[in-house]
Amino acid sequence: MNDPISTTRRSVLFALAAAPAALALPPFGRSEAMAAGSVLRAAITGYSPMGTLDPAKASIIAEFQIIWGLFETLLDFDEKMNIVPGLAESYRTLDSGDVEFKLRKGVKFHDGSVMTAEDVVFSLSRLKDPAVASPYASKLEAVKEIVAVDEHTVRLALSQPFAPLFTFLTNTRTGTQIISKKAFEKAGAEAFGRNPVGTGPFRLVDWKPNQSLTFEAHKEYHRQDFPRMATVRVPLIKEIASGVNALLGNEVDIISEAPYADLGRFKDGRQAVIRATSGLNARFVALNNKRAPFDDVHFRRALSMAFDRQTIIDAALFGQAQVAHGPIPGGLTWAYDPTIGETAKFDPDKARAELAKSKYGKDATANVLTWGSETWRRFAEIFVAQANDTLGTKLKLEVSEASTVSDRIRKKQFDAAVWGWKGFVDPDEYLDAFRTDAWRNDVSYANPEYDKVATAARVEMDQKKRRELCLAAERILEQDCPVLFSYHENVATLVRPNVQGLEVTPFGGFGAQLAAVTLK
C-alpha cells in the first residue's frame, strides 16, 4: 500500500467536511449581463427541434419563428391579412398573365452586400430545383419561369392561373424568403442553414442547438428606426409551465406560447399581459374513413352533432378559440364563413336520430388516439366523454406520445385521432387535404364532387368568386364530415407588462414582430 496516491480515511473525512464548506452560499444578486432591460429575451416554448434556418429547407414552425426575423419576402401581410409590399415596392399583373415585381432599392443583406434581382431569382428558383427537394416546391408549381428583367425587376411567368401565388410570396411558412446568393454560394448549402444571411431586421450571431439563439440588430436594415432592440436572446423552453415560471421570475420578457390554463390568472395584467388574436389553424378529430364505424357517413354525422365544441373550447382551451365548422379559420377573413353549419352544432336528439340511420349502432367502438400534451389530451378526453354520453357509444381514449401518433396517422394506422394544422395562410392549404389523391389526405376521404370544387377554387383569380367556391367546398365537408372540425385556436403570447410594441398577428410571425418591440 505504498502508492503515490495514498487515500486514507482521514483525507476522505476532510474532503467530506470541505464539500459543505465550499458551498458557503454564493453571493446573491444578478449580474449586469442578465439584467432585464438591456436585452430582449423572447422565448420559444414547446418542443422545438431545429435543423436548419435555410428557408427553402426548413419545415418546423420553430424554425420559421426564427427565419421570419432573419429574412424577408417580396410581399407581406399586414395585421388584417391584407397583402402589402415587402422587398418588392410594387407589383403588377401583365396582360400575358405574368407578374412583374419592382424591387425596393438599397436593401442590404446582413453581410453588407446589396440585394438585387439576381438574389430573388436565385432564391425562388431554388424552390423549384428538384435537386434541392424543397418542401415548398408546390408553392411555385404554376410558375414556369423566373427572370431578372433588370437589376431591380423580376418577372414570374405562369403556366396557368394560380390564385394562392401572392400569399405564397409573403413572409410566412412559404419558403419564398429571399436569401443572399453570394453568401449561399460561399458557405455551401449545409453551412448556410447554420449561418443564414438575409435582409431581415435581425442577424443571427449565436445558435446553441436545442438551447438558445441570439440575434443582433441588422445595422443597415432598410426600415428606419427598426429594429428597436440591439440584442435579442431566444431561449428554447421545453415545458410551457416552465416558460410561465421564467416569465414571472423575470428571466424572460416574452414567451411565444401562453398556456391557456394559466391565462385566467393574468387578467389584471400586473404580472403579465396576454396578447391574443384568432389564429390560422384548424383542429379536428380525424376519422379514418376507410375503417368501421367511420366508413359510414351517418355515423360520422351523428358523432359530429354529439359533442359541444364550445365546451371543449371552454374546458380544454379556457376560452382561447373559436368554434370550427369547416377547415378555413376566421383569421382568413375574406374566405371565412361565419354561419355555423348544422352538423357542427351540438344537438343530442338529432345526433341520436342520425345514429339510428347508421348501420352501426350504440355498441360501435373505436380508439381515439391522442398524446400526453396538455390541450390535445384534454380535447380528446372531453370529446370521447361527450360522444359516449350522448350516443351511448363505446369510444375509447388511446393516449400515446406525439411521435407515435404522427407516424400512425401518416401510415393510416388509426381509427380516430385528434389532429390539426397550423400556420397555413391560404384557403387552398386547408382545402387541399381532402382531395381524393392528395398525399395529405390521411383520412382517406374520397368525393369527386369535392375535388372539382376545390380545384376550381385554386385557379379562380377573382377573390369574390373564389370565396364562393371555398364556401361551397366547406359545405360539402360539412355534409360528409370526413373529420370533425372542432375549433380554431387563438395565437396567444404572454409578455411582461413592460414589453411594448408587440403586434400579435394571426399568421404568427414571431421573429419579424420582435423588430418593433421595446422595453419600457
User: Quick one: 492 or 515, whose CB is closer to other proteins?
Assistant: 492
Q: How far is the CB of 226 from other proteins (least distance, A)?
A: 28
HEC string of 223-285 equals CCCCCCCCEEEEEEECCHHHHHHHHHCCCCCEECCCCHHHHHHHCCCCCCEEEEEECCEEEEE
Q: How many residues bind other proteins (CB under 8 A)?
A: 87
**Window of 48-56, 159-167, 356-364, 482-490 that interacts with other proteins by CB under 8 A:** 48-56
By CB under 8 A, residue 410 contacts other proteins: yes
Among 72, 119, 381, 474, binds other proteins (CB under 8 A): 381
Instruction: Give the H/E segment covering residue 303.
Output: helix 297-305
Backbone angles phi, psi at 65, to 5 degrees: -60, -35
Q: How far is the CB of 331 from other proteins (least distance, A)?
A: 18
Residues 283-342 binding other proteins (CB under 8 A) are 311, 314-315
Among 159, 160, 211, 463, binds other proteins (CB under 8 A): 211
Residues 139-178 binding other proteins (CB under 8 A) are none
Residues 117-146 binding other proteins (CB under 8 A) are 133, 135, 138
User: Quick one: 67 or 121, whose CB is closer to other proteins?
Assistant: 67
**Quick one: which of 331, 315, 312 has its CA closest to 427?**
331
By CB under 8 A, residue 441 contacts other proteins: no
DSSP state of 301: H
CA 409 to CA 443: how far, in whole Å?
8
Q: How far is the CB of 265 from other proteins (least distance, A)?
A: 4
Q: How far is the CB of 285 from other proteins (least distance, A)?
A: 16
Q: How far is the CB of 305 from other proteins (least distance, A)?
A: 19
Among 82, 90, 160, 210, binds other proteins (CB under 8 A): 210
Question: Which residue has 390535445 as its cell numbers?
Answer: 376
**Quick one: which of 319, 253, 265, 306 has its CA closest to 493?**
253
Please give the C-alpha separations between residue 502 and each of 145, 234, 464, 518, in angstroms, as whole numbers: 38, 15, 32, 8
By CB under 8 A, residue 400 contacts other proteins: yes
Among 113, 231, 277, 406, binds other proteins (CB under 8 A): 406
Residues 263-282 binding other proteins (CB under 8 A) are 264-265
- Compute how many other C-beta atoms are within 10 angstroms of the C-beta atom of residue 19: 9
CA dihedral 7, 10, 12, 14 (to 10 degrees): -130
Among 440, 498, 500, 503, binds other proteins (CB under 8 A): 440
Yes or no: say if 415 and 425 are a contact pair by the CB < 8 Å rule.
no
Yes or no: say if 272 and 247 are a contact pair by the CB < 8 Å rule.
yes
User: Quick one: 114 or 276, whose CB is closer to other proteins?
Assistant: 276
